[in-house]
Amino acid sequence: MSNTDLEDDLRGTFDRAAASVPPATGLTERATTGARQAQRRTWIISGAAAVAVAAVAVVGFSLGGGNSPSQPPVAGGQAPVATPSVQAPPSAESVAGTWRPVQMAGLTSLKAERPDDPVIEFRADGTWTGSDGCNGLQGTYTIGQRGEFTAKAGLQRLIGCDNVPHTAVLEGAKRITLDTDTLKFFGADGRELASYARAR
């Protein structure tokens, strides 16, 4: 058999096989539709993934507190509660030091010129000394557990000038308070007699 006869025989076989296959209508259309559906599924999956990533980022930002500094975890999941600072009652040790008057009831001339600096010095042993601006002062004092206060003045000189009445404040005070570097004296009626600032 020659090559030409073989080619004719094969061509005839392919033609008979093609004639026996039923015609496929809309094959191109079905292939295009399938491709479109596959592309649509890809878009949906990609969109869902993007939404999930955004949600995780938002939750992480919220849990992290945004740009604010992170708070330490609290036991029980409750928010931390600010605890007010409690001022310890004054004692001989805490008031020990030198104090200058800032305000005194009935006295408006604390800044007047005086020979000496009008200060009081409390010692932890229960004694005090100082100057009213002209005269040297000294005495004793006691402080109770809740700030109760008593003081006595000892002998002093009596040089007259625009004196600062430390002695009257100390002997009239029944209670004191100490807030950082401010010492206040109160009378029996609760009225503030004087306020002192720590000098050293």
Q: How many residues make up the chain in this entry? A: 200
What per-residue confidence (pLDDT) applies to 133? Answer: 85
Per-10-residue mean pLDDT of the chain, 200 residues long, equals: 65 63 54 55 51 46 46 52 61 95 82 76 96 90 96 79 86 95 96 94
Question: CA torsion sign, 8 to 9 to 13 to 16?
Answer: positive
- Give me the phi and psi of 163, to 5 degrees please: -70, 145
pLDDT of residue 164: 86
Residue 162 CA to residue 184 CA, distance in Å, equals 22
Report pLDDT for 160. Answer: 67
Specify the pLDDT at position 154: 86
Q: Domain ranges in the chain?
A: 27-66, 92-198
Q: Is the pTM of this model over 0.75?
A: no
Whether domain 92-198 has CATH 3.40.50.300: the reply is no
**What pLDDT does residue 163 have?**
80
Structural Rg of the chain based on CA atoms: 48
